[in-house]
Structure 1
Amino acid sequence: MMNVRNLFLVRVTQCMVALIVAGAVTASSAQEMDELWGSRVVKMRADNAERGQLFDEGNYAMFIHWGLYSQLGNRVNGKTYYGIGEWIMNRRMANIPVDQYKELAGTFNPVNFDAKEIVQLAKDAGMKYIVITSKHHDGFAMYHSKACDFNIVDSTPWKTDPMKELSAACQEAGLGFGFYYSHNQDWSFPGGGGGPRVNADGTPATFDDYFVNKCLPQVEEITTEYGPIEIVWFDTPGKMPKEYVEKLVEVVHKNQPGALVSGRAGHNLGDYQTLGDMEVPLSNVDGMWESVDTTNDSWAYAWYDEYWKSPQEILRRLVACVGRGGTYMLNIGPRGDGAVPERAARSLREAGEWIRRYPQVVYGTDASPWQHSLPWGDVVSKGNQLFLTVMEWPTSGELYLPGLKSTVGSAQLLSGDERTPLEHETRNGWTVIKVPARAPEKLASVIEVNLNGQPDVDPSFAVDPNLGVEIHAEFASVANASKSEKRWMEKFGEWKGTVHVHDWKAEGRASFEVEVLEPGDYNVSLSYAGEGRLVWGVTIEDGEHIQNQQNSSHNYQEFPIGWMNFPEPGKYTLNVSCLEGNLDSASLKTIRIEPIH
């Protein structure tokens, strides 16, 4: 298949050239940009996109977790269970017996579900496709399944198939549509992962009973009865044997040749990589991949969970994923009545307004040549262009681009359709862009940089003269210590994670290379966890050494170590060591270097 990203960029370039020749790219109207990045780029619409193009070029999607569990909202018999709502039935949460859980269907009547409203919300948010739970681990089918009567049409007073309505609404609006399907776990069907071990007739249940009688027929149903599918999003394969996954993937590709299979199918049989829940990578990731995240903490609706991501936080995480080379799929959890929580919808729409003003930052982009975020925000690239998304606007009047070896032809501050030329200069190898004292945008401002050639960047971390820099342990080289990923849950199913340096030995160190533009004193802090009081030291290789004792924390509190002097511009190696205390517990997450103002 032809490289769809290259094809897209060629066609967009042709459109831009044609508009420039016609004198039209004076940004005379927002409608022109909407046409350029929306309906005029026909391959970005679901109804005639190539396989995987909405995923690879659209970069932003809506995930929906909605099911029988949504009407409980994490409250059972008056008790609230804190954690992800779709697991409420599980023994590690409310431990609801199968028969009792099935009785809930008799009162499930989501009369406020409106497929067109949800699709319009996705469009308003700037999303290019929707993926919704057709069956989660509880086994309840949110569509009219013939393979099992435990479904929303046969078991509820509503008697409606919302997936028919949602699929039709997506097709009408030009959005892609896809299904989540829990292929291994099924807590209500005999033989399913975590399900009953005995069939209705009293015989022992096997996984084959579940796979043959429910799983495989349901995957046939969702891939044949709901129109064109963009993605089938399998989840939690566990110990499911490879031959079963191969069969499911074969069914998807046979029935939906244009569909992708998620990386969580298992056995490396997915069409792309799916990262961990709520994981936004810190460094660029090769190939096609997605990050899945949620608008608050729980995937499915939880009555108490009002910790919503702000519009700026949504944009920060979206642009970070696009800047690392991937796709961001952001979840909503409708209530049991089918309505979307108002605060989630408001944040999505406000972020979507920004995307409509700056579509070139999100759609059809390439990853940042820096390979990581910068202290003030992030970067995406398109050919010889860089788009700088500035979250922390510099009040000094100067924005710093470290390590850029390519020469800059021009820089322009974008404000919707308006463009303001910006002066720029090179200073000790850094590109310095002169900017106004006030940011033109509330959420994030955008600067377009046109290079004289392809981007050529030294991706080393640099100490921004305005903001300093925070460097994660993921980017350290270690000696006499270990570096690995660490994940934990602060509430059930709500994952946190980091790469940390640990297992400190004598003369152990984590080394960070940094570039300094302005010499002088800087404050150095470390974020770490551990037990009791720990002594940490930071040393400039062949230079100054500082150390300090602070009480540790379990959740990576940041502690100051002291001031450190960088005597001249250039590159430095900083070595961080845990010197005293319970070294076995010491876990380093980040180092922060801040200018002293």
Structure 2
Amino acid sequence: MKAFILGLIGAALMAVTAHSADMDEMWGESTVKLRAENAERGELFDEGNYAMFIHWGLYSQLANRVDGKTYYGIGEWIMDPKMAGIPVKDYKQLAGTFNPTDFDAKAIAQLAKDAGMKYIVITAKHHDGFAMYHSEACDFNIVDSTPWKTDPMKELSAACREAGLGFGFYYSHSQDWTFPGGRKGPEVDENGNPATFDDYFTKKCLPQVEELTTQYGPIELIWFDTPGGMEKHYVQQLVDIVRKNQPKALVSGRAGHDLGDYQTMGDMEVPHHNIEGMWESVDTTNDSWAYAWYDQRWKAPKEILHRLISCVGRGGTYMLNIGPTDTGAVPDRAARSLRDAGEWIRRYPQVVYGTDASPWQHAMPWGDVTVREDRMFLSVFDWPESGKLFLPGLKTKIESVRLLQDGKATPIKWDSEEGWKVLELPPAAPEHLVSVIEIDLADAPEVDPTFGLDPNTGTEILAEFANVEGAKIVKHRWMEKFGEWICVYPATKWKSGDKAVWEVDVLTPGDYDVRLTYTGEGRLVWGVDVVGGEHIQNQQNASHNYQEFPIGWLNFPAPGKYKVAVSCLEGNIETAMLKSIRLTPLDEYRGTPKRMASAASK
């Protein structure tokens, strides 16, 4: 049964124009309510969904180069023995030449605002122990130890208030590599006496957190980090100070001992499934948090938007880092990407701010979904060449569908087939970065979250969404470079007879190309079954890292739901780590997967 947007064209356009005006008022001007001075506790975090992180310190002056040698990895750890291993005395001498005269607090606040971010969190003290503000608790600080003799935190907090942004501090509360008693710090004081963690905590950590929460105006967030073996009573004292001095401020989950207000994912980790409660993903514009002279692998605007909308679509907040240079300037390429992504957000704020997670609980092959009450926003990153966009499992009645562009909303048609909604789109994407489709529903969306096999491109399904029988889903995390984390959740610990099983929804019956992404040792034999149907198996050599391997073709004889099972059959199966399965419909004219045939024809 087909559903169309009916009525006279003139009346429809008038209704769309009126609706667009309402949305401009609702999502344009009303976002001012997210100004810091008007926000309730946690509102900027929970509704703003996007923030700027800044890693800046003495380490920025080195930029990952020490004595002519470049150290590849995250710059703020350059002092650590795993990188350059700089002695405390030598590191402290860097302060004498730190003179960041290009630092412009108003320009940074404006960049965050242009990017669409709602608050800024900056490193007041990282693990190196250097205070990037004027601290009375320790003279190893930017005012007393450098020729610049300026407190940039005073300037940045004022600039954020002027711009209507929230402001917060990163503070490394356990590690301090230059103060006696801090974790990984000197074990004796300046007089040669043994130093304890309590010495560090009472002489430096506690008074510095008191300073930060009393001398810089309203604070949106205090971002503690790496609690390590820090005892609970220490963390509780810090949290109590924040609660007393800044009752509207949030405390990051990395405070430790479950005393924070929200959960923080691992560095650079964007989750694939919805997560309940308040949480954030922290990421960086390239590979290093602090400035590294060689690191030019910047995230393009589309990648920034993809990761941002992925976080919002999973129910969380995205905090994206910049690393100013030793002079205090923001790298131009990072700033350009942020502004370009921000320009898109300015035109489509309803996609990002004050929205809820996707009811599908995972991304779609073409993009992602965010929700505001009975309205859904489809962010289409990969525009379908077929002119049809497939939406599986939507149970709630559709009232209308509109394609948004340049402040206009164009009605589009849709059809219902086998429980899927099929949207009829123009042949070309209206937006260069991300196109947006708005769907009005009769009620809050209710969906069947089963993975649909997209008739255009097929669907990759991660192992973490499988029901496993015998095998285990584990967290596999590693560094490509020091501090550059990669995280996947594979199915592993295979034994004979173990399975990973997914339920899939098939709209287009026929043959599908099957590919597995995995790692392991030696040649592995994998078996793939349509439960109750066809079985295939194949041997491929394992990669040292995750790589996609072709297995063969499977047939789904009719539309409907099927279970697909994967087993590791032969070889060093105990080493096998399965990341995902990809099922792609075959192009009936070329006998190849549609996504491959499309690429070959260009």
Name the counterpart of 2:57.
67
8 Å contact kept, 1:378–1:389 = yes
Alignment of 1:127-206 (within 5 A): 127-206=117-196
Moved over 2 A (4+): 20-28, 32-43
- Shift of the alpha carbon at 1:507? 0.8
Letter in 1 for 2:110: Q
- 1:169-199 deviations in Å (ceiling 9; x for gaps): 0000000000000000000000001000001
In 1, Cα distance between equivalents of 2:16 and 2:554: 54
- 1:363-512 to structure 2, matched below 5 A, reads 363-512=353-502
Shift of 1:480: 2.2
CA contact (8 A) 2:17 2:409 kept: no
Q: Which residue of 1 aligns with 2:275?
A: 285
Residue 219 of structure 2 corresponds to residue 229 of structure 1 = yes
Shift of 1:21: 12
C-alpha distance after superposition, 1:61-94 (max 9, x if no partner): 0000000000111110011111110000001110
Aligned match for 2:304, one of 308, 314, 331: 314
- The answer to whether the 8 Å contact 1:465/1:517 transfers is yes
Q: Which one is further off, 163-172 or 547-556?
A: 547-556
Matches within 5 A, 1:541-580: 541-580=531-570
Structure 1: distance between partners of 2:252 and 2:402: 39
Contact 2:521 2:575 in 1 (8 A): yes
The number of equivalent residue pairs is: 575
Name the structure 1 match of 2:18.
25
Whichever residue aligns with residue 556 of structure 1, its letter is Y
Counterpart contact for 2:377–2:438, Cα < 8 Å: yes
How many angstroms does 1:555 deviate by? 1.4
CA distance in 1, matches of 2:57, 2:14: 53
Separation (CA, whole Å) in 2 of partners of 1:520 and 1:35: 48
Q: Which of residues 106, 130, 155 is equivalent to 1:116?
A: 106
Q: CA deviation at 1:533?
A: 1.0
Compared with structure 1, are the counterparts of its residues 454 and 192 closer, same or farther at alpha carbon in structure 2 (3 Å cutoff)? same
Task: For 1:540 and 1:148, locate their aligned partners in 2 and report how far apart those are by CA, in whole Å.
Answer: 66
- After TM superposition, list the pairs within 5 Å mapping 1:338-353 onto structure 2: 338-353=328-343
Structure 2 unpaired stretches of 5+: 1-12, 588-602
Where structure 1 has 5 or more consecutive residues not aligned to the other structure, the ranges are 1-19
**Offset at residue 274 of structure 1 (A):** 0.8
Per-residue displacement from partner, 1:393-418 (whole Å, max 9, x unpaired)? Answer: 01111111100011111100000310
CA–CA separation in structure 2 for the residues paired with 1:67 and 1:429:
55
* RMSD over equivalenced CA pairs, Å: 1.5
TM-score, normalised to structure 2, is 0.94
How far off its partner does 1:35 sit?
5.7
AA matched with 1:434? E
Provide Cα deviations, 1:519-564, integer angstroms capped at 9, x if missing partner. Answer: 0111110000011111111111011111111111121010010111
How far apart, in 1, do the equivalents of 2:20 and 2:381 lie?
A: 24
Describe the superposition over 1:107-149 as per-residue Cα deviations: whole angstroms up to 9, x where unpaired. 1111111111111100000000000000000000000011000
Is the partner of 1:491 in helix, strand or coil?
Answer: coil
Task: Give the deviation of 1:464 after TM superposition.
Answer: 0.3
8 Å contact from structure 1 (residues 39, 45) kept in 2: no
2:274 is matched by which residue type in structure 1? Answer: N
**1:443-483: CA deviation from partner (whole Å, max 9, x where unpaired):** 00000011112211000111000011010010011112121
Following superposition, the deviation at residue 23 of structure 1 comes to 9.9
> Which residue pairs with 1:335 in the alignment?
325
**493-502 or 179-188, larger mean C-alpha shift:** 493-502
Tell me: CA distance 1:240–1:46, structure 2 relative to 1, closer, same or farther (3 Å): same
Structure 1 SS opposite 2:293: coil
Q: 1:364 to 1:307 in 2, by over 3 A?
A: same
Q: Deviations over 1:153-181 (max 9, x none)?
A: 11111111100100000000000000000
Q: Is contact 2:359-2:446 (8 Å) kept?
A: yes
Residue 505 of structure 2: aligned partner: 515
Q: Distance in 2 between matches of 1:76 and 1:453?
A: 60
One of 522, 525, 529 as aligned partner of 1:539 = 529
Q: Secondary structure at 2:485's aligned position in 1?
A: strand
Aligned to 1:87: 77
The CA deviation at 1:36 is 3.8
User: Does 2:579 match 1:595?
Assistant: no
What secondary structure is seen at the aligned counterpart in 2 of 1:185? coil
Question: Is contact 1:35–1:41 with CA below 8 Å preserved after alignment?
Answer: no
37, 41, 44: which is aligned to 1:54? Answer: 44
TM-score normalised according to structure 1 size: 0.95
Q: Does the aligned pair in 1 maintain the 2:509–2:557 contact within 8 Å?
A: yes
Specify which of 191, 202, 212 is matched with residue 202 of structure 2.
212
Aligned partners of 1:42 and 1:49 also within 8 Å: no
Contact residue 67 and residue 142 of structure 1 kept, 8 A: yes
Question: Share of identical aligned residues, percent?
Answer: 70
Using the alignment, how far apart are the partners of 1:106 and 1:596 within structure 2?
65
* Partners of 1:133 and 1:142 within 8 A in 2: yes
